[in-house]
Amino acid sequence: MNETLTILLESAVIGALIGFGAGAGVARMFHAPKAQGMGAFRTLGELNACENDPIAHFSFGFGFFFNAWASTVGAGALSGDVDHRIVPHWAASIAMFKNRNLAETLHNPRRMALTGAAVGIVLISLLNTTAASIPHSLQSVASQVLGPASDWLLNPVMPIIFWMAAVDAGRRTGGWGTVLGGIAHIVMGNAVPGIVLGIVVGKGIDDMGWNRITKSLTAAVVALFVASSFLRGVDMDLLEQMKIGVPGWLHQLHESTGTAGQ
Amino acid sequence: MTTTDIGVNDDTGQGADGRRPRPWEGGFWLSEWAFPLLVASLASGIFAGTHLYYTYQTGVFNEVAVVALLKAGMENGSYGAAAAFGAGFLFARIIEAPMVGILDIGGSLQTGVGIGIPAMLLAAGVTAPLEHFWLALPTGAVIGLAIGWLVLVIRRATLNSPDAGSTFGADVMMGAGNSAGRYLGPLVILAAATASVPVGLGSTLGAILFYWWKKPLTGGAILGAMAAGLFFPIAK
């Protein structure tokens, strides 16, 4: 079979699957914590920032569409924005075009899943087959304007917002959030996951005290930080930057597991 | 910010018993067991996207920087970095998801299932699920089902367990997540103004027009920047 046709058909199937899952997951986010949602905090915030306006939803997705197009031309990578931003916003825009009732559109998993699947089929097929035909001037605006703006949102704006929320939520939550946030930025390169886990642990202890659930939760969080600092080679960086030699066995352990840092 | 704050009513109107049930109430779409199926759908698509990249060099669902880790493995055979990076994210997100009520699809599925697990398979010499489309779909679906099931199990043991008297600060995080998006419009204008003078002016003009029309200024800032960039391309 012709290669372009194969890519087109496979892209349509993939697009339907990711649009269906992402659409329903995003709608379920608005019912969290009662229902388990799927998406991201920034997706939730950005959907709210468009304030229930189909044109705003469309143009927000449109900007990232050019970004994804440019990234597909350059590296064959659709960019993480496809699931996080383009599909949810375009599905929301289409769903709201005639009906502004949020309960029946953006907050309705069925409507969002079906609209999302349709958006996904068109979007993924288009990105994978036509990436080379994008106008160059739009490509550079997308990558030089939206790129930095979303990088700044991810770091440092979002960490600061979450940090302030943690600090305002009480002394224990603020303390856990600060410690885990700082360590997370060292270990994972972004403080948000650490602050979120800090809020989880701090609020859990506030509400329930030290019981079986909060103890195992804290143990899991500690294990997570230890494991990811080893996997990313942060332990070796620490020793090197404190001017302490890295012991040979540790270096060999990292070499043999392929975790010597990037 | 809730939906009533922005002047939108979440009520669906009148029905026989005072109000008509919402389309999903009591049904499949918001039920607990729908979640693993939805994760399976998304994970299956993302894993198949990685298959498309492995065979045709296009279609993986991730940022260029992360894909570069997988690409390095495909070229020189050392998948350690990609596997460790993806697995770390997947692990973190599975622990976090039941607590906060949201499974982060960027970390868990795009990076974990799309990069980490393929890297582990390739490092172990298993190439079949990445070479054949019809094998990639069920592989991704099974992985997704497992992730969704695991999230529900942790959720039952913590949030929904009978002796749990806490939502683990989900309200705090929802508040922060909701307010984060408000910063995007100003950030777009700042980035546009840094990129070039015409693009900055276009972005500012678009934002103020949208603000006057009582529309979110983020959309105006993006459209204004792109319109200006079409006529005055940014010099490299």
Report helix, strand or coil for B102. Answer: strand
Q: What is the mean pLDDT of residues B14-33?
A: 59
Residues 6+ apart with CB under 8 A from A20: A113, A114, A116, A117, A120, B38, B41, B42
CA angle, B179 then B181 then B185, to 5°? 125
Residues 85-124 of A with CB under 8 A from B: 100-104, 107-111, 113, 120, 124
What pLDDT is stored for residue A175 in this prediction?
A: 96
| Number of CB pairs, chain A paired with chain B, less than 8 A apart | 414
For A109, nearest residue in chain B (alpha carbons): B29
Average pLDDT over residues A168-172: 92
- Encode pLDDT of B156-213 as tens digits: 877 666 666 666 777 777 677 667 767 878 998 999 999 999 999 999 999 999 889 8
β partners of residue B102? A37
CA distance A76 to A11: 13
Q: Which residues from chain A sit within 8 angstroms of residue B84, using beta carbons?
A: 231-232, 257-259
Half-sphere exposure of A106 (CA within 13 A, CB side): 27
Residue A250 and residue A236 in contact, taking contact as beta carbons nearer than 8 Å: yes
Q: Is B104 helix (H, G, I), strand (E, B) or coil?
A: strand
- Least confident piece of the model among A229-243, B66-80, B154-168: B154-168
Phi (first) and psi of residue B234, to 5 degrees: -70, 125
| Cα–Cα dist B111/B120, whole Å | 12
Query: Using N-to-C axis directions, what is the helix angle for A192-208 and B170-180, rounded to 10°?
Result: 150
Interface confidence, given as ipTM, is 0.74
A225 in contact with chain B, both atoms CB, cutoff 8 A: no
Residue A1's pLDDT band, with cuts at 50, 70 and 90, is low
Mapped to the 3 state alphabet, what secondary structure does A175-201 carry? HHHHHHHHHHHHHHCCCHHHHHHHHHH
CB A64 within 8 Å of CB A85: yes
> A106 — phi, psi (to 5°)?
-60, -30
Name the residue with higher pLDDT: A116 or A197.
Answer: A116
The band of A133, judged by pLDDT with boundaries at 50, 70 and 90, is low
Closest CB to A144 among B49, B106, B234? B234
pLDDT above 60: residue B126 = yes
* A191 close to A181: Cβ distance less than 8 angstroms: yes
Nearest to A169 among B110, B169, B194 (CB): B169
The residue among A187, A195, A170 whose CA lies nearest residue A41 is A195
- Looking at chain B, the whole-number percentage of residues with pLDDT higher than 90 is 35
Closest residue in chain A to residue B52, using alpha carbons only: A7
Residue B75 binned pLDDT confidence (cut-offs 50, 70, 90): confident
Please provide the average confidence, as pLDDT, over all residues in chain B: 81
Min mean pLDDT across A170-179, A187-196, B1-10, B85-94 is at: B1-10
B31 sits in the region (left: phi over 0; alpha: psi -120 to 50; else beta) called: beta
Cα A51 to Cα A179: distance, rounded to the nearest angstrom: 34
Q: Does B21 touch chain A (CB under 8 A)?
A: no
**Listed range (A129-138, A161-170, B57-66, B192-201) with the worst mean pLDDT:** A129-138
What distances in angstroms separate CA A205 from CA A81, A208, A254, one per listed residue? 35, 5, 36
Token pair of A230, please?
């080893």
Please report the pLDDT score of residue B47 as a whole number: 96
Angle A262-B116-A25 (CA atoms, 0-180°, nearest 5)?
125
**What is the mean pLDDT of the segment spanning A93-122?**
91
Does B157 sit within 8 Å of A213, measured CB to CB? yes
Which among A104, A106, A52 has a CA at the least distance from the CA of B8? A52
**Cα-based distances in Å from A251 to A18, A178, A223, A228, A241:** 41, 31, 21, 16, 15
Q: How far is A140 from chain B (nearest CA, A)?
A: 7
Do B98 and B167 meet the contact criterion of CB atoms below 8 Å apart? no
- Where residue A12 falls among pLDDT bands split at 50, 70, 90? very high
Of B98, B181, B233, the CB nearest to A45: B181
Cβ neighbours, 10 Å, residue B134: 11
pLDDT confidence band for A19 (50 / 70 / 90): very high
Nearest Cβ partner of A80 from B22, B63, B166? B63
pLDDT value at B23 more than 60: no
With CB atoms and an 8 Å threshold, state whether B180 touches A45. yes
d(CA B123, CA B117): 10
pLDDT for A211 beyond 90: no
Mean pLDDT value across residues A225-236? 83
d(CA A35, CA A108): 12
Looking at residue A112, what is its pLDDT?
A: 93
**Neighbouring-strand partners of residue B60:** A77
What sign for the dihedral angle of Cα B186, A164, B91, A107?
A: negative
Q: What's the pLDDT band for A260 if we cut at 50, 70, 90?
A: low
Q: Are B131 and B55 in contact (CB under 8 A)?
A: yes
What's the rounded mean pLDDT across residues A109-123? 94
B12 contacts chain A (CB < 8 A): yes
Q: Please give the structure tokens belonging to residue B157.
A: 């043991």
Chain B environment of A48 (Cβ under 8 Å): 1, 6, 178, 181
B145 part of contact set with chain A, CB < 8 Å: no
| Complete DSSP assignment for A69-104 | HHHHHHHSB--THIIIIIHHHHHHHHHHTT---GGG
In the block, tokens 């998304």 appear at: B42
Whole-angstrom CA distances from B219 to A54, A125, A203, B170 are 10, 25, 36, 29
Quickly state the pLDDT bin for B49 (edges 50, 70, 90).
Answer: very high
Query: Looking at the partner chain, which of A16, A140, A200 has a beta carbon nearest the beta carbon of B100?
Result: A200
Q: Tell me which of A166 and B76 has the higher pLDDT.
A: A166
Supply the pLDDT for residue B137. 96
CA distances from A226 to B91, B112, B119 (A): 12, 18, 22
Q: Check: CB of residue B179 under 8 Å from CB of residue A47.
A: no
Q: B67: how many CB neighbours lie within 10 A of its CB? A: 23
% of chain A beyond a pLDDT of 70? 95
Predicted confidence (pLDDT) at residue B224 exceeds the cutoff of 80: yes
Q: What is the pLDDT of residues A20-47, one digit of tens each?
A: 999 999 999 988 778 899 998 888 888 8
Q: A128 vs B59: CB contact, 8 Å cut-off? A: yes
Q: Please give the Cα distance from B187 to A62 (Å, whole number).
A: 17
